Structure 1
Amino acid sequence: MNKLLSSHLKLHFVVLLYGITAILGKLISLPAPQMVWYRMFIAFAVLGGFIWLKKIPIKIGYQSIIKIMGVGLVVAFHWITFFHAVKISNVSVTLGCMASTTLFASFLEPIIFHKRIKWLEVFIGLLIIGGLYLIFQFELSFWKGIITALLSAFLAGLFTVLNKLFIDKHHPVTISFYEMISGFISIGIFLIFTDILPHNLLMPNTMDVIYILILGIACTAYAFVVAVDVMKVLSAYTVVLAINMEPVYGILLAFFIFGQSEFMSGGFYIGTLVILAAVFVHPIIMRIQSR
């Protein structure tokens, strides 16, 4: 198997793992904050081992660590809202709304980096808003889950843009390592102040432990390291295009695993297709323009 084909297969396996994340969130019985607390602990431990094994630089300066750990708080809150949305609605609704992350990133990037707003991205954003309107109109019973998922999508766009401030200066695995530590500590403090730690922490049952290990090791640490590794062979455009398949993989898997509870109205699927079409068209047009 040649390196190009191998990298494509690895990339789509990673995207499949991203899609499985929402399904694991539905299967794990723990509330979202506890689930993310365990996930971030496992992820930072595995990434720490990877850093030690590969001798990746970990000393990046006090100020950089503080800033990156600040982004880690955003990551933690993004995951908490993501899993909470899954629990109060379902996998399909959450992933359909999460496809709007591109919309939020397109508006946040010019604000944070003081760039001009690109009218193409405004147009793509309007298409995404149209898709979200269809989802809202036909799945109003899930309005709490939709709003929570949109908040999660906004936070995903925010930390994606903020990470661009560090990606050229520090190794991406090092960045994620400090973000995982930050999220683990901050959620732990929250659990202490809400009297969940150490007295009322819900301990995971046997299946929860298995699912959390898959979530922390495979869907977080492994997926991230492989996603970075394949970019040595594949272009950023190819990676972004493939990652846009996450809602498709996740919704299809959820339908087969959870059955009728994941079956949505026709309007929901039309709205989701509009969002996905807009997300797919954006990098294609950008590539044509760059040529």
Structure 2
Amino acid sequence: MKSGEARIAVHVAAVLFGLTGILGELIQGSAWLITAGRAAFASLSLLLFMRHLGHGIARPGRAVSVSVGLAGLLLAIHWVGFFMAVKIGGIAIATLGFASFPAFITLLEGLFFHERTRAFEWLIVAIVSVGLGLVAPSFNFRDEATTGLLWAIGSGLSFALFTLANRKAVGQWPAHALACIENAIVAALTLPWCLAEFTGLRASDWLWLFILGVVCTAFSHALLVASLSRLKARSAAIIIALEPIYAIAFAALFFAQYPSVRALLGGALIIGAILISSLDKSRAPAMRADRIDING
């Protein structure tokens, strides 16, 4: 893959990630069902892909197994929270609330890994916080959009914790194997809560779940990993940060969900803060593949 092709691949991945909220809105099922179906299809397709390449899944050490198990649990919480936000607050609210996760990573790294948080990073956190305040339609918890935003912020927090939990496993396992196992854990954790729902799914719901799991999760992950062989993770992160813009555009196009001017301003602050943080050269050595959003 050449450098130009790698950039196109990352943009395609960002578009596919942006479609996840759209598919979550289309699927007539609970957040648990959407998460379980997505994870099951993603895990199976990644397993088939690795077998096609002749790759197996090596047995990890105990410490790595604990990290992967914890990461799988946090990924399940993240996805359920995100799709709850989509169902309750709408696609734009869900995506912008989730986009707060880099601010949580900054705060949690200092707490868990004793990494010094610089004044610049506190500024990024402050900008994201102001942006979230603007995205919130009101501070009335009876407001569905506000409730949806709280679910989205919780989704961002759990994704930040998921990212940090992955730090031990990344580098010891191939990225595809890690994603396959973590998706399998998500499916195992969520299927018992929604198994009966699958009997009532329409044919179109099965199609959307397939696209969500195979195309928007497994395929987009493969594109991102392949592109990182030619691009710096920081460069890829800047492109992936455009995901909320794609999601909001799709929501407006397919569902006529138009965010308010205030929400757009808040979203601009959040996305701007993420882009500025990605451009911070002094942070570049820590910006690895595990730091890039593979949410969808």
Q: Do the structures match in fold with TM over 0.5?
A: yes
* Residue 81 (1) aligns with residue 78 (2): no
Q: C-alpha separation between the residues in 2 aligned to 1:226 and 1:134?
A: 34
Counterpart selection for 2:200 from 199, 203, 207 = 203
Cα RMSD (Å) of the superposition? 1.9
**Preserved contact between residue 139 and residue 265 of structure 1 (Cα < 8 Å):** no
Q: C-alpha separation between the residues in 1 aligned to 2:133 and 2:197?
A: 40
CA shift, 1:125, in A, is 0.2
Q: C-alpha separation between the residues in 2 aligned to 1:119 and 1:56?
A: 44
Counterpart selection for 2:170 from 147, 167, 171 = 167
CA shift, 1:200, in A, is 5.5
Counterpart selection for 2:147 from 144, 148, 156 = 144
**Preserved contact between residue 69 and residue 181 of structure 1 (Cα < 8 Å):** no
Q: Which runs of no fewer than 5 residues in structure 1 stay unpaired?
A: none
| Match in the other structure for 1:158 | 161
Task: Give, as a single letter, the amino acid of the residue that structure 2 aligns with 1:150.
Answer: I
| Match in the other structure for 2:187 | 184
Provide runs of 4+ in structure 1 moved above 4 Å: 137-140, 199-202, 287-290
Aligned identity (percent) is 25
- Deviation track 1:10-58 (CA, whole Å, cap 9, x = no partner) reads 1100100000001100011111101111111111111111121223341
**Preserved contact between residue 15 and residue 243 of structure 2 (Cα < 8 Å):** yes
| Match in the other structure for 2:210 | 213
CA shift, 1:137, in A, is 5.0
- Deviation track 1:80-122 (CA, whole Å, cap 9, x = no partner) reads 1101100011101111111111111111122222222222211
**Preserved contact between residue 39 and residue 187 of structure 2 (Cα < 8 Å):** yes
Task: Give, as a single letter, the amino acid of the residue that structure 2 aligns with 1:276.
Answer: I
| Match in the other structure for 1:277 | 272
* Residue 237 (1) aligns with residue 239 (2): no
Q: C-alpha separation between the residues in 1 aligned to 2:111 and 2:278?
A: 20
Q: 1:252-271 to 2 correspondence within 5 Å?
A: 252-259=249-256, 262-271=257-266
- Deviation track 1:202-260 (CA, whole Å, cap 9, x = no partner) reads 4320110111110010001111111111000011111110110000011011101111x
Task: Give, as a single letter, the amino acid of the residue that structure 1 aligns with 2:127.
Answer: L
1:135 to 1:200, Cα distance in 2 relative to 1, 3 A: closer
Instruction: Identify which range, 55-64 or 24-33, moves more after superposition.
Output: 55-64
Q: C-alpha separation between the residues in 1 aligned to 2:18 and 2:238?
A: 15
1:288 to 1:178, Cα distance in 2 relative to 1, 3 A: closer
Q: 1:17-32 to 2 correspondence within 5 Å?
A: 17-32=16-31
CA shift, 1:5, in A, is 1.4
SS in 2 for 1:109: helix
- Deviation track 1:163-201 (CA, whole Å, cap 9, x = no partner) reads 122112111111111111111111124x2xxxx54x555
* Residue 40 (1) aligns with residue 45 (2): no
1:73 to 1:242, Cα distance in 2 relative to 1, 3 A: same
SS in 1 for 2:57: coil
CA shift, 1:158, in A, is 1.1
